[in-house]
Amino acid sequence: MAFYEKEGLKGIEILYESIQFIPDDVLIIGDGKRGDIGNTSQKYAEMLYDEFKFDSATLNPYMGKDSLDPFLAYKSKLNFILTLTSNPGSNDFEKVKLADNSFLYQEVIKKIKLWNVNNNCGLVFGATKKEELLSDIKLFGDLPVLLPGVGAQGGSIEDVVNIFKQNGSSEFLINISRGIIYRSSEEDFADQARVELEAMNEIIASIMSN
C-alpha cells in the first residue's frame, strides 16, 4: 500500500487501475499491516474491503483483539495477522520471552486461533525464520500462512515448501515482491517478471507433487 499511497491522489488512482488488471479468480491482498482502535480501525476495514474490495489484508495485532474486530467481522475476507515477521527487528518484540518461557509471537498465534471463529484468520510468518517455522508449524493448526521474505530478504523457497510438505500442509502462500517485479528495469520487465513467477511456481509444484 505504501508504494501507492506515497504518490498521493495519483497513486490511489493507479491502485484502482492496478486492481482492474487482476483477474477475478486471483486473491488480492491489501498489504498495509493495519491495526488501530475504535472508529479508526472500522474505517481502515471499510477502506480495504468495501472501497478497494480487497479479498484479504495484512493486520497488526499489537493493540489487541478490538483493533482487529472490524476486519474479522467481514466473514468472507481473509485476514493475515502478523506473528513472526521476516525483518531483523522482529527480535525486538516478537521474540520477547514470556513468564512461561514461550515467545510473544507464539502467544499471538494462540490468540489468533481463538479469534478465528469465522474461519477468516491467517498468519504472517517470515520465510527467513526457518528454524522457528520448523518448530512452530504444528502450532499453526489449520490456519493459512502468508510467508514474506523469499528472494531479496534471503528466504529459501525450497526450504519453506519442504517444511510444509513434510508436515502434510498446503495451506500457505509465498510472497515474493522485489525478486519478481525488479527482475528487470528495462522494457521487458513484465516478461521477465512472468518468467520469474513461473519458475517459482514450478519449484513449488515440483516439491509438493513429489
Which position among 6, 10, 33, 53 bears the catalytic label?
A: 33
CA proximity to 169, closest of 149, 148, 145: 145
Res 141 pLDDT > 80: yes
- Domain contains 56: yes
Domain count, the chain: 1
Provide the mean pLDDT of the chain: 95
pLDDT, one tens digit per residue, over 8-30 is: 999 999 999 999 999 999 999 99
What is the span of the domain harbouring residue 25? 20-132
- Domain contains 121: yes
The region of weakest confidence among 63-72, 111-120, 171-180 is 171-180
Q: Structure pTM?
A: 0.94
User: Would you state the pLDDT for residue 186?
Assistant: 93
* CB 64, CB 81: distance < 8 Å: no
pLDDT, one tens digit per residue, over 101-119 is: 999 999 999 999 999 999 9
- Domain contains 161: no
- Domain contains 142: no
- Domain contains 14: no
- Domain contains 61: yes
Of the chain, the percentage scoring pLDDT greater than 70 comes to: 99
- Domain contains 152: no
Confidence of residue 2 (pLDDT cuts 50, 70, 90): very high
Region 141-169: mean pLDDT is 91
Res 86 pLDDT > 90: no
Report the CATH number at residue 24. 3.20.20.70
CA 15 from centre of chain: 19
Region 75-93: mean pLDDT is 94
Task: Reply yes or no on whether 110 is catalytic.
Answer: no
User: Would you state the pLDDT for residue 131?
Assistant: 94
- Domain contains 73: yes
Q: Where are the alpha helices (DSSP H) in the chain?
A: 2-5, 8-21, 38-45, 69-72, 104-115, 130-136, 157-166, 178-181, 189-209
Res 56 pLDDT > 90: yes
